[in-house]
């Protein structure tokens, strides 16, 4: 129960983000969601895209550093307290979040998010147990 995320290591320099999105655009790869973490030296771009394997291969072939990892995607009711409930479940189970970002969606009553935790397997188990809907790639 996980979705594949494409991560790219970028130099913190003008034009690098455009360059990789351009490479993916030319290969007709659609980006569904994206989150950037940056430091003074580098940036890490995390992307949910269709066909992540092909996207990663193309980026590596064009001289970028890209990798694929599985992340947990879940849905919560799009209302106040929706996300807080998920976080409290994780906290009760001593699961730490490395990062989390929202998935762009067309649904009107649900919000989607993606996260990496220090223990993704347990995170998925406790969320399911508490009735949180997890997403698979075909649902997004």
Partner 1 sequence: MEKRKYYQPEIETMPVEQIKKMQSEKLVKQVKHVYEHVPYYRDLMDKKGVKPEDIHGIEDLYKLPFIEKSDLRETYPYGMLAVPLEDCVRIQSTSGTTGKRVIAYYTQNDVDLWEECCARALIAVGADKEDVVQVSYGYGLFTGGPGLNGGSHKVGCLTLPMSSGNTDRQIQFMTDLKATVLCCTPSYAAYLGESLHDMGYTPDTISLKAGIFGAEPWTQENRRELEKSLGIKAYDIYGLTEISGPGVSFECTAQGGMHVNEDHFIAEIINPETGEPLPEGEKGELVFTCLDKEAFPLLRYRTRDICVLTREACPCGRTFVRMSKPMGRSDDMMIIRGVNVFPSQIEAVLINEGCSLNYQIKISRVNNSDTFDIYVELPPEQFDDSVKNLTAKEKSLQAALRSMLGIGPDVHLVPPKTIARSEGKAVRIIDERKLHD
Angstrom distances, CA of residue 69 to CA of 16, 92, 138: 22, 25, 17
**Shortest Cβ distance from residue 79 to partner 1 (Å)?**
30
**Shortest Cβ distance from residue 65 to partner 1 (Å)?**
5
> Which residues form the interface with partner 1 (CB under 8 A)?
5, 7, 9-11, 37, 39-42, 44, 46, 60, 63-65, 67, 69, 98-99, 116
Contact 95/43 with Cβ under 8 angstroms? no
Strand partners of residue 11:
42
Angstrom distances, CA of residue 65 to CA of 18, 100, 125, 137: 15, 21, 31, 23
User: Which is closer to partner 1, CB of 94 or CB of 107?
Assistant: 94
User: Which is closer to partner 1, CB of 41 or CB of 109?
Assistant: 41
SS3 category, 12: coil
Provide the pairing of β-strand 42-49 with 31-38: antiparallel
**Shortest Cβ distance from residue 104 to partner 1 (Å)?**
19
User: Which is closer to partner 1, CB of 37 or CB of 102?
Assistant: 37
**Shortest Cβ distance from residue 85 to partner 1 (Å)?**
25
d(CA 115, CA 28): 26
User: Which is closer to partner 1, CB of 19 or CB of 78?
Assistant: 19
């Amino acid at each position: 129960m996980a979705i594949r995320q494409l991560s790219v290591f970028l130099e913190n320099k003008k034009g690098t983000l455009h360059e990789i999105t351009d490479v993916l655009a030319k290969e007709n790869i659609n980006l569904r969601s994206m989150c950037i973490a940056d430091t003074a030296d580098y940036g890490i771009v995390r992307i949910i895209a269709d066909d992540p394997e092909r996207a990663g291969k193309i980026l590596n072939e064009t001289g970028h550093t890209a990798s694929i990892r599985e992340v947990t995607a879940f849905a919560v009711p799009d209302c106040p307290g929706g996300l807080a409930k998920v976080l409290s479940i994780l906290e009760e189970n001593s699961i730490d979040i490395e990062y989390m970002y929202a998935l762009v969606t067309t649904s009107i009553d649900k919000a989607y998010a993606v996260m990496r935790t220090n223990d993704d397997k347990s995170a998925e188990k406790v969320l399911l147990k508490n009735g949180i809907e997890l997403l698979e790639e075909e649902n997004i």
